Structure 1
């Protein structure tokens, strides 16, 4: 598939795909006319890259981890890195849950018609 097709299928911009390619995260074949062509599996790869970015991993870390994903093989170092990233994400989730719970309490208090902020 061509770059525009991949962008549409993966839900990202063409610019993002070019960036991923520059960072070494995504590879394309080139037609004789120089157009990028991607295999169907590139959709899953781009979605994984997006998820890892959304989780806060920098491109350098993603680049280090992708060979484990591609080969399905890891070293003790890469396993430790994966576990550390998972633990970091777990901490982020816990923090977000705590923030959500606090907002729920604020909303409940502010929604109380007898609360001072609701009276005029």
Structure 2
């Protein structure tokens, strides 16, 4: 598929898809005319990248983590420093989730209190 179709299917602007390619997160094939050609599995890859970016991960970490996420069951895990770095990112994401959950509860409590009046 062309970049426009991938953009429409994922909701990610074409310029960001090109940026992901520059960052080594996507590797589309090139047609003879130079156009990018995206395979179907890259739809899920783009959605995964967006999710990780929204969670606060950097493109540098994502580039290193994506292969592990794709093949977690059978991959050879890298050096302990990298594993620790991924663990730190995971812990940071968990802390953000906890904070979001507290904020969500506070909003629910407020809405419930307002609805009673």
Same fold (TM over 0.5): yes
Report the counterpart of residue 65 of structure 1 in structure 2.
65
Query: What are the ranges of 5 or more consecutive residues in structure 2 without an aligned counterpart?
Result: none
Would you say 1:86 and 2:86 are equivalent positions? no
Q: Computing the radius of gyration over CA atoms, which structure comes out larger, 1 or 2?
A: 1
- The match for 1:95 among 93, 99, 112 is 99
Please, what is the CA RMSD of the aligned residues?
1.9
TM-score (norm 1): 0.80
SS at match of 1:32: coil
Shift of 1:53: 0.5
Runs ≥4 residues deviating over 6 A:
none
TM-score (norm 2): 0.81
Report the counterpart of residue 19 of structure 2 in structure 1.
19
- How many residues were matched structurally? 113
Query: What are the ranges of 5 or more consecutive residues in structure 1 without an aligned counterpart?
Result: 114-120
